[in-house]
Structure 1
Amino acid sequence: MHRSAAGRLGLAVSLALSVAAGAAPAALADPVLSPGLLPAMRQDLGLTAERAALRVRQENQASRLVPAAEAAAGAALGGSWFDPGRGRLVVAVTDPARADAVRATGAEAVPVTHTAKALAATKDSLDRLAAAKRAPAGVASWHVDPRANTVVVNVVEDAEEASVRDFLDQARASGPVTVHRAGVRTPRTYAAGVVGGDPYYTGNVRCSIGFSVHGGFVTAGHCAGTGAQVNGWDRSWMGTFAGSSFPGNDYAFVRTGGGWWTVPVVLGWGTVSDALVRGSWVAPVGTSVCRSGSTTKWHCGQVLSHNETINYAQGAVHQMTGTSVCAEGGDSGGSFITGDQAQGVTSGGYGDCRGGGRTWFQPINEILSVYGLALHTA
């Protein structure tokens, strides 16, 4: 396995074996989350130890509440998110008559103008517009923002070309659209040339392992195409890309061999303890999330968006999740996790871990579904 992970692997494997042997899972009210999550939240989100622990419990409860609360809203659903200030799941509704049903599930209800269905239709219109006529490079991404009850189009802050203005005019004509420019830069993928670290290699490209699945691991599709050979940190043969999709999507499945084995672990790189993976629920907008990658190791932030379309130079990628977590070249394919729940694999973004930025990930459940894979869990 990985050279830099060797010291931690024994602990990770022993933890995995203890769970397999019958260690009881934590109670819902006090979830067992990835080791080191609370210190990372204190560092990256500016929370005290007490506030970080409370927020983790609240986020866990909110994530589990989403299906029932959204079902209670019915056709009046305007979207949902975790609100750190309230410490609760918030559900937007267009019909006040549905508010009591939402509150009965334990969530907050707030009134909005547009339904989630209407916002999704507007976002789909932008996807079709970009597919019919390539979106200009000055348009970075677009996504539904349930908190603002609008579709946000992120435009590179100094982009003033006629093509950008034309795209925005057509976007606004399709429905409720808000343009955001402040601090937006051109997104890029996070693959890198051969440098030091704890990588896997495809030719002269270094990327990061995402999550173990039975038979191999998942990672980013832009790292290599189907059939590409994969070498581990020591340059020994590791496996083959059995499937890969990019652009349009950004995911891949590597089937491993050559003596490499998989464990349900996300590396903490010595910054935090390694994390066991126990499942893969979808964390609501507003939830804290952490990322592990071979260049910048372990960093945390918040989920900012779901179902966002990213306009890379190679083409648009759909149904991505946006975060405030930083990343850099070589982190592509790495793990996004909330507590012990897998979220997705790192795709790209802008900025770095010195000045900050945004990073998007490809949701894990779609990857598992497309390739018929089973997540390796503890």
Structure 2
Amino acid sequence: MRKSPTLRVLGGGALALGLVAVGATIATDSGGTDATTVSSDNAASAGAAGAADDQLTALQRDLDLSAEEATRLLDREAEARTLDSELRTELGDAFGGSRFDIDTGELTVAVTDEAAVGAVEDAGAAARVVTYGESGLAEIVDDLNSQDTELSDGVTGWYPSTDDDTVVITVLEGERSAAEKLIADAGVAEDAVKVETTTDKPRTYADIVGGDPYMIGGSGRCSIGFAVDGGFATAGHCGAVGTPVASQGGSGTGTVGGSIFPLRDMGFVEADDNWTPTNLVNDYNGGTVPVAGSEEAPEGTSVCRSGSTTGWHCGTIGAKGQTVVYPEGRVEGLTQTDVCAEPGDSGGSWISDDQAQGVTSGGSGNCSFGGVTFFQPLTPILHEWNLTLTTR
């Protein structure tokens, strides 16, 4: 099995991949159309029939795996998600984060207390003792988040690296002094952070089938994230509260009922009665992938994305808790990936096996030569508006 792709450090002029204008290209190799044309019973069984093969095909293409390797990877990742959840609960404050290795199929759990090593190893994972861990790095991120930093200062973002047990600050080339000032102003220990430079320029990627297009106020397009009771989750930058939206064909209509952007990139559309939620994500290969839950996947695991501009693409999960400085403002709590995306993919679904992970926020690059893309985790969206994910 090949090495997990190295995540390129984001930076540049962090650009949120905003909405795309109506009339722009929409991925057309999908069997999914408006959500109103998909009955939940028939679509669910049809989606389940082809979902496994379609997802395996995408993983083979994007992660350079054989069919056997892709199947084994999904099985091992499912086990790792469950083990990660169990150890997170069992270890409590000693849990320092985790990372899955797609080459070995091994889950490594960081602990901040050496006494917890035995519990990790007894559970079947590898243990690594760290100084800061997940919670300690999160505190450093919070200290940095408290500073008034803008893109013009040269700093483009920061994220906790559980691999290095440090917080990485990304800056434009020649702007290292801006990072040093941020570190000093935040009062964080210099050995707890490291500075990396980049030339990347992230931006936001602006039915009820995840990944299908929806139109915003008659002048823009984004992608559906995940169906919830009464509507769907999507990116906050796709529309302000009260903005009217509609399915691509216009048969489904709704209104933005909740939107937070910047600071977060969370959105919720309240759908009318003629727009029916399903537990499906469009795989843009003539089928759909069913959503069974929202169990969080560890860093390093594979993840696939659905969006109405570029369709279905897969890669791996990188850092969590990423802060990105977009021109529109800072967004906190994003997850970094090495999956490509383009304008119009914003709001679209991120899924690991059958577990919903989040919705597309922004990034850099494109699907011709690759890039870095960030997603807004789904759980905070569900909690913010007391939403229930549609899983059947």
Q: Under a length normalisation based on structure 1, what TM-score does the superposition of the two structures give?
A: 0.86
**Residue 312 of structure 1 pairs with residue 339 of structure 2:** no
- The CA distance in 2 between the partners of 1:10 and 1:242, in whole Å, is 24
* 8 Å Cα contact 1:138/1:186 also seen in 2: no
Tell me, which stretches of 5 or more residues in structure 2 are unaligned? 1-27, 207-211
- The CA distance in 2 between the partners of 1:92 and 1:178, in whole Å, is 19
Q: 1:219 to 1:105 in 2, by over 3 A?
A: same
One of 370, 376, 380 as aligned partner of 1:366? 380
One of 146, 152, 174 as aligned partner of 1:128? 146
AA at the equivalent of 2:349 = S
- The CA distance in 2 between the partners of 1:103 and 1:79, in whole Å, is 15
Alignment of structure 1 residues 258-273 onto 2, 5 Å: 259-270=274-285, 273=287
**Residue 340 of structure 1 pairs with residue 354 of structure 2:** yes
Deviation at 1:77, TM superposition (A): 3.0
* 8 Å Cα contact 1:336/1:344 also seen in 2: yes
Deviation at 1:101, TM superposition (A): 1.3
How many percent identity over aligned positions?
A: 41
- The CA distance in 2 between the partners of 1:104 and 1:164, in whole Å, is 41
**Residue 286 of structure 1 pairs with residue 314 of structure 2:** no
**Residue 140 of structure 1 pairs with residue 167 of structure 2:** no
1:14 paired residue number: 42
**Residue 5 of structure 1 pairs with residue 32 of structure 2:** yes
1:86 paired residue number: 104
* 8 Å Cα contact 1:201/1:231 also seen in 2: yes
* 8 Å Cα contact 1:12/1:274 also seen in 2: no
Aligned residues: 356
- The CA distance in 1 between the partners of 2:157 and 2:149, in whole Å, is 15
- The CA distance in 2 between the partners of 1:4 and 1:74, in whole Å, is 44
Which range is displaced more, 220-229 or 60-69?
A: 60-69
Residue by residue over 1:155-179, the C-alpha shift from the partner in whole angstroms, topping out at 9 and shown as x without a partner, is: 23x2527545522554684450122
**Residue 228 of structure 1 pairs with residue 255 of structure 2:** no
- The CA distance in 2 between the partners of 1:34 and 1:364, in whole Å, is 23
Q: 1:135 to 1:313 in 2, by over 3 A?
A: closer
One of 254, 264, 271 as aligned partner of 1:256? 271
* 8 Å Cα contact 1:35/1:275 also seen in 2: no
- The CA distance in 1 between the partners of 2:251 and 2:378, in whole Å, is 27
Deviation at 1:181, TM superposition (A): 2.3
Deviation at 1:10, TM superposition (A): 5.5
Other structure's SS at 1:122 match: helix
**Residue 38 of structure 1 pairs with residue 56 of structure 2:** yes
Taking only aligned residues, the RMSD between alpha carbons, in angstroms, comes to 2.7
Alignment of structure 1 residues 99-248 onto 2, 5 Å: 99-129=117-147, 132-134=148-150, 136=152, 138-156=154-172, 158-160=173-175, 162-170=177-185, 173-175=188-190, 176-182=192-198, 184-191=199-206, 198-236=213-251, 238-248=253-263
Deviation at 1:308, TM superposition (A): 1.0
Deviation at 1:288, TM superposition (A): 0.3
* 8 Å Cα contact 2:31/2:287 also seen in 1: no
Q: 1:351 to 1:377 in 2, by over 3 A?
A: same
* 8 Å Cα contact 1:99/1:109 also seen in 2: yes
Q: 1:137 to 1:294 in 2, by over 3 A?
A: farther
- The CA distance in 2 between the partners of 1:82 and 1:172, in whole Å, is 32
AA at the equivalent of 1:365 = T
- The CA distance in 1 between the partners of 2:270 and 2:39, in whole Å, is 25
* 8 Å Cα contact 1:136/1:163 also seen in 2: no
* 8 Å Cα contact 1:220/1:347 also seen in 2: yes
AA at the equivalent of 2:291 = V
One of 274, 281, 288 as aligned partner of 2:288? 274
Other structure's SS at 2:320 match: strand
